[in-house]
Structure 1
Amino acid sequence: MTGTDTDTGTDTGAGTDTGTGSDFLLTTRVFYDTIADDYATHFRDGLAARPLDRAVLTGFAELIGKGGEGGRVADLGCGPGLLTAYLDSLGLSPFGIDLSPRMVELARREHPGLHFSQGSMLELDLPDGDLAGVVAWYSVIHTPVDLLPALFTEFARVLAPGGHLLTAFQVGDDPLHLDRPWGHPVSLDFHRRQPDRMAELLEASGFELRARMVREPDTDIGESTPQAFLIARKGLPAG
């Protein structure tokens, strides 16, 4: 879930450009099922060395608290649950959803007081307007670009009017192809995004951009590309 260029990249959630239909979901699920145990061990303290990232999460939590919708937040692409637990420590009421059954199993084991379930971000088993917040922390980087509008529309569907979305991703144009992480016989593409284009897609899906931050790569923790964070609010009904 740390989103650096030298690691396995992120929480899981939506897929890669390795196929069409359900193919990219299957590829992503198999990848993260295979590496889940090593991933959970390697990134157990993933937020500890990232004070600016924690500051973004804290600001997001305060926006949720001021919104008056309650603190129910979905951590989409939750991986082994590290970020879900951090959101809980900020006073929110988070739960996690991940495409990988093994990641969900690890999250439940590591954080037994929180709720985790298996599923795809593209088709959330949640009612319309159910949430105060959605977090997609380095989990949209596996979604094919042509499916991003549908993905953001799904995020808007499950948010209450005035609810907030936080998404994080690596900045760039060319994907990172990761092959045989920790020696496992799997590979996956990690798609970098441009903040301006992501903001346009969010606005086209009914969001109002509230904050945009790009920080420089932290070479001390192995990053080689800038990291972007966008916070957007679902629009309020007219009148």
Structure 2
Amino acid sequence: MDPRTEELREAHDVLAAVYVDRLANILDQMPIERAVLGLFADLVREGGTGTDVGDIGCGTGRLAPYLSTRGLSPRGVDLSPEMIRVAQRDYPGFPFQVADLRALPFEDTSLDGVVAWYSLMYLPPEHRGAAFGELARVLKPGGHVAMAFKMGDDALRRGGRSLDLGIGFDIYWMSRHEVESRFTDAGFRVVFWAERPADPDEQQPQGYLVAELGPRAPA
């Protein structure tokens, strides 16, 4: 594991307890995020191929119950072993495992949808092609991805320091152009886009995107 990835994993091991304390029920207070996830769920179900979805960078597993209530069957993966331990403890009815989103533990065309909720923003530009390619690999043609991210100018920033927990990690506030280009290059078509202005306790606006995977090129 490269030093940057190891630093990110170790930081999120520390953050697991913070996420449980601050984020466990926050979706109940976020109608916009529920609406985007609901749209994603409707598109997956209406696709008619199945309801298996991967929650890529699932953290403590907090989205799994909501996705389940919308008729989906979520499976979570996260880089942090502690995040996965907490997810398995708090949401024992769902499968979770440790994995790197650049090498997903799913077979080709095995998923009907993927959620990438604030998880792709940690990747440096040179690793994004592999990650977006993995999303396309594991999805069935016509499958959908829902992504949430912090919007900005694509510049590298350092996260975690303001929490005074002795951690730090690289993070990118990504532009709409960068995100849409990565999906297009990986064979997706963007079907929904939204931006939410920053709340008083946030430093940046939030971006939301839903994309559909196109047909696979002939071998």
**TM-score relative to the length of structure 1:** 0.86
Long gaps (5+) in structure 2: none
1:23 is displaced (CA, Å) by 2.1
Look up the match of 1:29.
9
Look up the match of 1:214.
195
Q: Is residue 53 of structure 2 the alignment partner of residue 53 of structure 1? A: no
8 Å CA contact 2:59–2:83 kept in 1: the answer is yes
Rounded to whole Å, the distance in 1 between the matches of 2:102 and 2:174 is: 18
> Pick from 60, 68, 83: which aligns with 1:103?
83
> Pick from 180, 183, 190: which aligns with 1:199?
180
SS in 1 for 2:28: coil
1:148 is displaced (CA, Å) by 1.1
Look up the match of 2:112.
132
User: What are the Cα deviations for residues 125-150 of structure 1, in whole angstroms up to 9, with x where unaligned?
Assistant: 11100000011000011011121111
How large is the Cα RMSD of the aligned pairs?
Answer: 1.6
Rounded to whole Å, the distance in 1 between the matches of 2:52 and 2:131 is: 20
Rounded to whole Å, the distance in 1 between the matches of 2:125 and 2:187 is: 18
Rounded to whole Å, the distance in 2 between the matches of 1:166 and 1:179 is: 25
Rounded to whole Å, the distance in 2 between the matches of 1:69 and 1:24 is: 37
1:62 is displaced (CA, Å) by 0.1
8 Å CA contact 1:38–1:182 kept in 2: the answer is no
Look up the match of 1:164.
144
1:100 is displaced (CA, Å) by 0.5
Look up the match of 1:44.
24
Long gaps (5+) in structure 1: 1-20
1:176 is displaced (CA, Å) by 4.1
User: What are the Cα deviations for residues 136-171 of structure 1, in whole angstroms up to 9, with x where unaligned?
Assistant: 000011011121111101100000010001111111
Look up the match of 1:4.
none
SS in 2 for 1:129: coil
8 Å CA contact 2:4–2:169 kept in 1: the answer is no
1:27 is displaced (CA, Å) by 1.0
Report which structure shows greater RCO (CA 8 Å, sep ≥6).
1
Runs of 4+ in 1 over 6 A off after TM superposition: none
